Amino acid sequence: MSNLASCGSVSGLIIEKPSAHSLAWDYDVVITTFNRLSAEWGPRKNSPLMQVHFLRVMLDEGHTLGSSLSLTNKLQMAMSLMASNRWLLTGTPTPNTPHSQLSHLQPMLRFLQEEAYGLNQKSWEAGILRPFEAEMEEGRTRLLHLLHRCLISSRKTDLKTIPPCIKKVAFLNFTEDHARSYNELVVTVRRNILTADWNDPSHVESLLNPKQWKFRSALIRNIRLSCCVAGHIKVTDAGEDIQETMDMLIEKGLDPISEEHALIKYYLQYGGNCLRCKEWCRLPFITPCRHLLCLDCVALNSTKCTFPGCGYSYEMQSPEILTRPENPNPKWPVPKDLIELQPSYKQDDWDPDWQSTSSSKVAYLVQKLKALQEAGRESSWSIDKDTQISVSSVVLRQDCFSVNKAAVEKVIIFSQFLEHIHVIEQQLAFAGIKFAGMYSPMPQINKMKSLATFQHDSTCMALLMDGSAALGLDLSFVTHVFLMEPIWDRSMEEQVISRAHRMGATRPINVETLAMRGTIEEQMLEFLQDTDGCRRVLKEESSKTGREGARLHRSLHDFAESNYLAHLSFVHTGSRA
C-alpha cells in the first residue's frame, strides 16, 4: 500500500503542509493540483516540492502548460521540479484554433526537458515552428522525428476494447409551414444573386462577392437555423419601392384602376403563386410583360420571358456598357428592363419563432426516444420473467427499474442553436420525457446540477447540451447521441461523440445526425463527405487566378459558404397552396 500525501486544501479543511523531509521520507506518492503548483512558485524558491528529487513527475491534462504562451508560474514551477522521469498526459495537445497551434507544444517540451527543442527556444523556432508554419517540408519532418522520440499516441481506434460507434444520417422532410419559412430565406438569397447582374459574383452587392463574407456568414447561420426553427423575415418599407415598380408598369400601359394592377401590387407585397409553375413564392419577379414568375422560372432564361406563349424579349445590356463602380468587370449581357423593374425590398433580420415551430426533427427525436424507452421496459420485464419473482406487479415493476439500471437507455442530444434547444425542451416536456439541460447561457452550478441529475436519476433519460458543455465529460454510460444538425467543425463533432464513445463504454454507441432533405444541411453533409476534394478545387481555383484567387476565398469555410449560397434551392413539400 502506498502512502499518499495530498498538497492543498480539501473542501475547506486546512491541512498542514508537509515539510520537504516528510514528503521525501513518509510518502510514496504526492498528489497536487495545478493551482497549488502555481501558488508554490515564488522568488525564494523554497517550496518543499522543489526540494525533493522525485522518481517520476506526471502531469495530467498537461496541455494546460501550453494554453498560455507566456511564462506562467505554473510552467516555471513544473519545470523546476527535480525528477528522474517526466511524463505528461493529454488528449488535446494543441488547442483548436484556426491559426497555427504548434507554438503551444513548446511549453510541454520544456517541461519534458526535451534537449534539442524543449530546452532551446531558438532551435525550436528556427528548426520547426517557422518552417512548419511556412508549410515547408523540413518543418513537418523534424516535427515528426521529434514526436517519434517523445510521444506515445494511443487513439480510440487503437483500443480494441471500446465498443463500435455506429454513425448514421437521418434525412427528414419539412412540414408545409416550415418549408415555406425556409423558402423565405432561400428566395432572399436567390433574388440577391440574380439581381446582381444575373448571378455575377463580381458585383459588389452579390452575396457571392468575396467582400460580402461577413454578411454571408450571418445569413448562412440563419439558413441553417431555419432548418430547425421556423421564422420570418419582416419586409418593411416596401410600399414606396413597389409603387415605383407599379408606376413603371403604368407607363408601359398598365391600367391603374384595373384588377390586374391591384393583383400585381398585392403579390409584390405579400407573395403569390408563380404563373408558370404555380408554386408559391414570397418575393416573385414581375416581368415587363406583366408576368409574375418565381425565381426558378424567371432564372431559366436571361433574355426572354419564360411564361408559356409569351416569349417577350428583355432589353439586354452588354458588359461594355454595364461597366460601373459596383461591377467593374461584368461577365455577360444582363436583362436591364427586367432587373430595374424589381422593387428593392429592404429586409429586416430574420426572426426565429420557436414557440410556434412544428419541427420534423424534434418529432422524429421524440419518436426515437419513446421507442428506446419501450425497448428498455421490455428488457426489464424479460429479466423479471427469467428470475420468476412472483410478487404484485406494482412492486415488481419498481424493483425491476431500480435493480436493472443497466437497461435504462441514456441519450445525449446536441444542438449548436439556443433557439433549437428551446424547441427541443418544449417538445420533450410535452411528450413527458425527462431530460436535463446543460448549455449556455446557464450558470456553471446549474450545469453541474443538470449533469448530476442525468448521471444519477434513472428516470432522466436525456442530456440536452451545446458546445459549451462538450469538453471533458465522461458519459460512457450513454448509448445514443443525437446531433440535431450537421456540425461543420469536425473536432467539435468528435468532442461530442467522445463524451459517450470512450474507455468505459460497454455497449455500442449509436450516433445519429438529423438533417432536412434538400436544404443547406444536405449540402453541408455532402461537402463534409469530401472536404479533401473541395480543398483541391479551392487550390486549383486560386492557382488559376493567381494572387487574386488567394484573396477570393479567405478559407475553406468561406469557400464552402459561397458554394452553399450559389446552389441553394427551394424545398417543395408537394402540396401547392
Is the CB of 127 or the CB of 335 nearer to Zn ion?
Answer: 335
Instruction: Please choose, from the candidates 294, 333, 289, 337, the residue with its C-alpha nearest in 3D space to the C-alpha of residue 312.
Output: 289
**Candidate list 36, 203, 282, 291; residue touching Zn ion; CB under 5 A:** 291
* Minimum distance of Zn ion from residue 219's CB (angstroms): 23
The secondary structure of the chain in percent helix, strand, coil, rounded to multiples of 5, reads 45, 15, 40
Interaction between residue 294 and Zn ion (CB under 5 A): yes
How many other C-beta atoms can be found within 10 angstroms of the C-beta atom of residue 172? Answer: 17
Stretch that binds Zn ion, among 72-80, 164-172, 263-271, 300-308 (CB under 5 A): 300-308
Stretch that binds Zn ion, among 68-76, 104-112, 274-282, 452-460 (CB under 5 A): 274-282
Looking at residue 304, the DSSP 8-state letter turns out to be B
Give the rounded distance of the alpha carbon of 415 from its chain centre.
Answer: 8
Give the rounded distance of the alpha carbon of 325 from its chain centre.
Answer: 37
Stretch that binds Zn ion, among 174-182, 204-212, 297-305, 488-496 (CB under 5 A): 297-305
β-pairing, 280-281 vs 272-273, is: antiparallel
Give the CA-trace dihedral at 231, 235, 236, 239, to 10 degrees.
-150
Interaction between residue 364 and Zn ion (CB under 5 A): no
Phi and psi at residue 369, to the nearest 5°: -65, -40
Interaction between residue 264 and Zn ion (CB under 5 A): no
Interaction between residue 227 and Zn ion (CB under 5 A): no
Is the CB of 337 or the CB of 474 nearer to Zn ion?
Answer: 337
Is the CB of 305 or the CB of 428 nearer to Zn ion?
Answer: 305
Is the CB of 83 or the CB of 310 nearer to Zn ion?
Answer: 310
* Minimum distance of Zn ion from residue 252's CB (angstroms): 12
What residues have CB less than 8 Å from 142, skipping those under 6 apart? 127, 128, 131
**Candidate list 238, 274, 369, 473; residue touching Zn ion; CB under 5 A:** 274
Is the CB of 272 or the CB of 486 nearer to Zn ion?
Answer: 272
Stretch that binds Zn ion, among 165-173, 235-243, 266-274, 493-501 (CB under 5 A): 266-274
Interaction between residue 289 and Zn ion (CB under 5 A): yes
What residues have CB less than 8 Å from 548, skipping those under 6 apart? none
What whole-number distance in Å separates Cα of residue 392 and Cα of residue 390? 7
Interaction between residue 170 and Zn ion (CB under 5 A): no
β-pairing, 292-293 vs 285-286, is: antiparallel
CA atoms within 13 A on the CB side of 260: 11
Looking at residue 324, the DSSP 8-state letter turns out to be B
What whole-number distance in Å separates Cα of residue 529 and Cα of residue 523? 10
Number of residues that bind Zn ion (CB under 5 A): 12
Is the CB of 79 or the CB of 297 nearer to Zn ion?
Answer: 297
**Candidate list 307, 345, 414, 454; residue touching Zn ion; CB under 5 A:** 307
Is the CB of 304 or the CB of 368 nearer to Zn ion?
Answer: 304
Instruction: Please choose, from the candidates 303, 305, 336, the residue with its C-alpha nearest in 3D space to the C-alpha of residue 322.
Output: 336
Interaction between residue 277 and Zn ion (CB under 5 A): yes
Interaction between residue 295 and Zn ion (CB under 5 A): no
Interaction between residue 297 and Zn ion (CB under 5 A): yes
- Looking at the chain, the number of H-run helices and the number of E-run strands are 23, 18
Is the CB of 222 or the CB of 287 nearer to Zn ion?
Answer: 287
Interaction between residue 420 and Zn ion (CB under 5 A): no
What whole-number distance in Å separates Cα of residue 520 and Cα of residue 512? 18
What whole-number distance in Å separates Cα of residue 191 and Cα of residue 12? 64
Interaction between residue 312 and Zn ion (CB under 5 A): yes
* Minimum distance of Zn ion from residue 293's CB (angstroms): 6
Is the CB of 183 or the CB of 327 nearer to Zn ion?
Answer: 183
The residues that touch Zn ion, with contacts defined as CB under 5 A, are 274, 276-277, 287, 289, 291, 294, 297, 305, 307, 310, 312
